[in-house]
Amino acid sequence: MNTDVYVTGTSGVLGFETLLSLSRQGISACGVSRSGLPDKKHPIRNEQVNDVLNPEWFDPNNAGSTIIHFAGLSNPRVAFDSYVDLTIHEVVPHVEMVENLILRGWHGHLIYISSGGAVYGDIDDLPISEDQAPRPKGFYALQKLTVENALVFLANQYGFRLTILRVSNPYGSLVPKSGQGVIPILLDAALNEKPFTVFGSGEELRDYVHISDLLTAIDKTCHLQAPARINTLNIGSGIGTSLNKLISLVTVLTGKELDLSRIPSRYDVNSNILDISRAASVLEWTPEVSIQDGLKTLVSDYLNAGPAMQPIAPAPAKFGT
């Protein structure tokens, strides 16, 4: 079957939301996931496989297709025994996936979803542009950056188009799946009277981008006709919000006080706000949903939808913390 776009990692919230958005636009898109889709009521194409990074799911008839690559680590506090352990288990498989795609005849556009909220690390000069040298602090950030560099090398070697999207902190999905990111966990704590842990002081700024703005940026990237074959773009709101401010907003919007505890963190970075001017220029894109409006809508949707759609606390990290 003809496929213009593949989306890997569609058992995750962002991969699923992207596949659903593309399908609703009438784009011939197919998801690839190891687990089932988090919401099965939508008639969208998805191939469930044992190993997403083994591209047997790729049909050589779709040689020029776009691949939006979400599959990979999702827990920012994941730990490994060493850099070698990380490389073997979480970098090499991504490299092998692309090399095997090339062997199967693929020569399209790879869109790699990286993390602008992690790879830059502690940068004092805010907002952070793509030209800033990254300083990853944890294994999650190191994995994202190492895969980025490997993909740039492969794109230069084999000539395919590559766009790296360094996404800040997306929120706003109503997909009923384990929470990824602080906002779903915070809402779960507020709505279900659970304790919530603040890592660090809570005063560090984060850049939160609404899911609708992220999906618009991804859609524009799929249609990107930039003169450069390789692009790295920050995708965020360009505005910083502290965790303490989020807690205050959620408290007001839900009418519930949170049971808070605070512990130091060696993995969380200091304030992180992305410079999105390059994305605005290259993609002709700007975010439209403020954190206040996005949270207000999200809380209202959760309360109106009932318990079946309320956020679920995340599962424990696979490798510990």
Residue spans per domain, the chain = 5-309
Q: Output the six-digit token pair for 195.
A: 């304790």
Q: Output the six-digit token pair for 23.
A: 């399908």
Check: pTM over 0.85? Answer yes or no: yes
Class of domain 5-309: alpha beta
**Cα 319 to Cα 177: distance, rounded to the nearest angstrom:** 20
Q: The tokens 């512990």 sit on which residue?
A: 263
Give ∠ CA 288-235-293 in degrees, rounded to 5.
30
42, amino acid identity: H
pLDDT digits over 67-76, tens only? 999 999 888 8
pLDDT at res. 2: 82
> Measuring CA to CA, which residue among 67, 72, 66, 76 is closest to residue 9?
72
pLDDT digits over 37-66, tens only? 988 788 899 999 999 999 999 999 999 999
pLDDT at res. 268: 66
Q: Is 302 a catalytic residue?
A: no
CB of 89 closer than 8 Å to CB of 80:
yes
pLDDT at res. 267: 60
- Stretches in the chain below the pLDDT threshold 70: 1, 176-180, 266-269, 305-321
Q: Which member of 6, 140, 208, 302 is catalytic?
A: 140
10, amino acid identity: T
Helix residue spans in the chain (DSSP H): 13-24, 83-90, 92-103, 139-158, 182-191, 211-222, 243-254, 277-283, 291-305
Q: CA gyration radius for the chain?
A: 19
3-class secondary-structure state, position 189:
helix
